[in-house]
Amino acid sequence: MPFNPRMLIIARESRRMTQKALAEASQTTQASVSRAEAGVHQPTPESVDAWAKALRYPGVFFARQTEAPPLPMPFWRKQKKLGKIPQKELEGNLAIRCLNIQALARSVELPEHDVPEIDLDNAKMSASDAARYVRTRWQVPVGPIADLVGLLEHNGILVMMLPGTEGFQGVSVHDGRADLPPTVFISADDPADRNRWTAAHELGHLVLHHHLRKVTEWSEDDANEFAAEFLMPAHEIRHHFSWRSGLADFAQLKLHWRVSMASLIRRARDLKVISDGHFVNLQRQLSREGYRRREPNAFEPEHPATIREMVRVHVEDLSFTASELGTLLALDLEDVRRFFWDDLQAKDAPDGGAPKPRLRLVE
């Protein structure tokens, strides 16, 4: 069986293991792991089997010759506590999920995406202008967006939740491959209000940055400005604020606009409805009440549907069992159930959301 060194690196990093830790867990040597990953030595079948068991991936995983899509390093939304090892774990998991999506996409017809590519400098536009353009292009109704994840998927952007890596919020991938639609990965551990902001932020990167050869130091600011205008259009939300607005007012607005109190407070300041002094005072109140970690008036999260539909097609239309799905995805049963099988039981989007996708088999 052929061996791809890159797949061993991805598998090891996805399990947060060093070369030494893998060698100890598999009762091999660090030299054999290092030489195999460097591509200077063809490992024995026994070594590959031992690594597969230690890493909980089937042996066929390491034979995959398809390279995982490159990840857009400038577009990470991460907290300072996301260290080098967790980031490597996350990179490995993201690469594997991209390969999984490509495997599932071979048998289904994915809709063409509608992600405009806007160069702010050439177009002489602001990030807010770009957000208004996308809302108009996508025919987004006036007011709050009821189901942002559904809206993204309706326009051909795949959304996938990733559990488990503390400090990770979201990242997007878009390299033009036909079998890998523009995809937004979001932390499954964050509250719904934060996830909606992350999704809008990554949409900003998809529209403004992924098509550029290099990204400016202002790319994060651009994505934040895009997200604010996309979720809370200035001309629609301004009259909801008052120079006297307090935490209770922002808590109520949160339920209407489906964004965090912190985002609303910042939006009120940026639109110059509240003063800088009032903004600072509100920030202190958020900290004092413990709302930095978890705000009141939480609402139900939005559930991606396209991945679930891709799995449904394989299970119901193509009669795949969980084990056979594991063979297709080169995953063990635990990961199949964690990332894909159990997703068939996910809840639907809230009322008023975008229509759920219904995919057809490739003919």
Domains annotated for the chain, with CATH where assigned, are 1-65 (1.10.260.40), 73-363 (no CATH)
Q: Answer for the pair 7, 64: CB distance below 8 angstroms, yes or no.
A: yes
Q: What was the pLDDT predicted at 177?
A: 75
| Mean pLDDT estimate for the chain | 90
Dihedrals φ, ψ of 346, to 5°? Answer: -65, 155
pLDDT exceeds 70 at position 12: yes
CA distances from 314 to 98, 307, 310, 328 (A): 17, 11, 7, 10
If you average pLDDT over residues 253-261, what whole number do you get?
97
pLDDT in tens, 276-285: 999 999 999 9
**Percentage of the chain lying above the pLDDT 70 cut:** 91
Q: Does residue 349 register a pLDDT over 50? A: no
Q: What is the pLDDT of residues 14-29, one digit of tens each?
A: 999 999 999 999 999 9
The pLDDT of residue 71 is: 61
pLDDT greater at residue 12 or residue 90: 12
| Mean pLDDT confidence for 220-229 | 96
Dihedral of CA atoms 79, 306, 336, 174 in degrees, nearest 10, equals: -50
Range of lowest pLDDT (132-136, 208-212, 322-326): 208-212
pLDDT tens across 115-163, in order?
A: 999 999 999 999 999 999 999 999 999 999 999 999 999 999 999 998 8
Q: Are 282 and 247 in contact (CB under 8 A)?
A: yes
pLDDT at 78 (0 to 100): 57
Q: Look at 42 and 353; give whichever has higher pLDDT.
A: 42
Band (327; pLDDT cuts 50, 70, 90): very high
The predicted structure's pLDDT at residue 346: 53
Pairwise CA distance, residues 19 & 9, whole Å: 9
Is the CB of residue 234 less than 8 Å from the CB of residue 263?
Answer: no
The 10 Å Cβ neighbour count of residue 136 is 9
At residue 355, the pLDDT reads 61
Residue % of the chain over a pLDDT of 90: 74
pLDDT score of 176: 77
In order of 183, 343, 346, the CA distances from 307 in angstroms are 11, 8, 11
Contacts 24+ apart (CB under 8 A), 30-37: 33/8, 36/3, 36/5, 36/8, 37/5, 37/8, 37/9, 37/12
